[in-house]
């Protein structure tokens, strides 16, 4: 059996940067200054476990009071945080180590700029995803979060100037569908002069190239295998998007979080097995899955 790893899979540069910041902080850690991370550092239990073994403790904002003025350092992960988190840390005398991905910081800045100019801000994303919570905080929650065309048509006020953004890890085809549906709905309303409609509608495709750029290569890689094992954390948004891309290309694509979830039946008669993963899947774990498949099947 030939088992290969998709060379375009694994950590994106934003995650590499975040993990490196955490590693540097842990290496320089003093006994009197603990290092924490706010929320799981990435959506991958194996990597969380590896860094926890090195002393990285995961906390929530509710722990800030307990850690106040103890010399604690708190890492903000790639997804970013709302302004309220920075304020609370400052009040508690907690040092923030900001590992927000620059792509997310840029998204927050662009959203704020439009909001400041009075636009109705629409985010195509998951309303409780950490990145979206950060963006919502930037605009004091004065935004509409939608993840389907139906929700867009139901919740967006088309009589206001509007800007549409995307969470960085959503799928582009649905984003484009939402954009085009809103555009044509506005055009219809322009014809019907009974309505006071938005004369301005902007759509900003803020889906990260680290996710969308992988789709074509993944599709090709998946089509070339008998079976694909897609490894990612169950909470990973881009994991779901990329898994669906692989599955569309090769129906014998299976999602696992750990190697123990592999069902031997999937590999019956397979001679070419491909392993791929999300932007939060560590390379070392895909290697482990590869070894596991080669040894056991
Ligand atoms: S997927 Fe893009 S936005 Fe998200 S952490 Fe990676 S580089 Fe940053």
* Residue extent(s) of CATH 3.40.50.11270 domains in the chain: 13-102
Is residue 193 pLDDT above 60, yes or no? Answer: no
Chain segment 61-84, per-residue pLDDT in tens:
999 999 999 999 999 999 999 999
Is residue 192 pLDDT above 70, yes or no? Answer: no
Q: Is 18 in the pocket of ligand 1 (CB under 6 A)?
A: no
Q: Is 99 in the pocket of ligand 1 (CB under 6 A)?
A: no
Residue 178, pLDDT score: 97
Please state, rounded to an integer, the average pLDDT across all residues of the chain.
94
State the angle between helix axes of 102-116 and 130-138 in degrees (0 to 180), rounded to the nearest 10: 30
User: What is the CB-side half-sphere exposure of residue 287 using CA atoms within 13 A?
Assistant: 3
* Residue extent(s) of CATH 3.40.1010.20 domains in the chain: 2-10+212-296, 107-167+172-206
Residue 33, pLDDT score: 84
Chain segment 202-241, per-residue pLDDT in tens:
999 999 998 888 999 999 999 999 999 999 999 999 999 9
Q: What is the CATH number of domain 2-10+212-296?
A: 3.40.1010.20
Residues classed as catalytic: 131
- Dihedral sign, CA of 17, 22, 23, 28? positive
**Between the CA atoms of 56, 79, 242 and 166, what dihedral angle is there, to the nearest 10 degrees?**
170
**How many angstroms is it from 228 CA to the middle of ligand 1?**
24
Domain 13-102: which topology? Answer: Rossmann fold (3.40.50)
Q: Is 12 in the pocket of ligand 1 (CB under 6 A)?
A: yes
Q: Does domain 107-167+172-206 have CATH number 3.40.1010.20?
A: yes
Residue 197, pLDDT score: 57
Is residue 55 pLDDT above 80, yes or no? Answer: yes
Q: Which pTM was predicted?
A: 0.90
Cα 19 versus chain centre, distance: 15
Q: Which atom of ligand 1 is nearest to the CA of 11?
A: 6
């Amino acid at each position: 059996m030939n088992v290969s790893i998709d060379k375009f899979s694994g950590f994106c540069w934003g995650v590499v940067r975040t993990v490196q910041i955490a590693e540097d902080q842990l290496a320089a850690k003093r006994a009197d200054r603990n290092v924490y991370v706010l929320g799981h550092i990435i959506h991958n239990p194996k990597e969380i476990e590896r860094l926890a073994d090195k002393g990285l403790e995961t906390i929530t904002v509710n722990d800030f009071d307990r850690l106040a003025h103890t010399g604690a350092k708190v890492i903000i992960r790639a997804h970013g945080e709302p302004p309220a988190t920075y304020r609370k840390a400052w009040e508690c005398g907690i040092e923030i180590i900001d590992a927000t991905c620059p792509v997310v910081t840029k998204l927050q800045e662009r959203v704020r700029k439009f909001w400041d100019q009075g636009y109705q801000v629409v985010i195509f994303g998951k309303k409780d995803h950490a990145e979206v919570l950060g963006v919502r905080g930037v605009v004091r929650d004065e935004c509409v979060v939608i993840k389907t065309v139906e929700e867009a048509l139901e919740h967006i006020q088309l009589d206001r100037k509007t800007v549409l953004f995307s969470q960085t890890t959503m799928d582009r085809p649905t984003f484009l569908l939402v954009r085009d549906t809103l555009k044509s709905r506005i055009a219809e309303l322009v014809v019907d002069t009974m309505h006071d409609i938005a004369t301005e509608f902007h759509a900003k495709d803020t889906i990260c190239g680290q996710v969308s750029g992988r789709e074509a290569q993944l599709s090709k890689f998946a089509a070339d295998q008998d079976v694909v094992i897609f490894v990612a954390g169950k909470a990973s948004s881009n994991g779901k998007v990329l898994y669906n891309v692989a599955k569309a290309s090769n129906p014998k694509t299976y999602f696992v979080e750990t190697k123990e979830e592999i069902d031997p039946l999937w590999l019956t008669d397979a001679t070419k097995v491909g392993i791929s993963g999300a932007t939060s899947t560590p390379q070392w774990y895909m290697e482990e899955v590869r070894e596991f498949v080669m040894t056991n099947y």
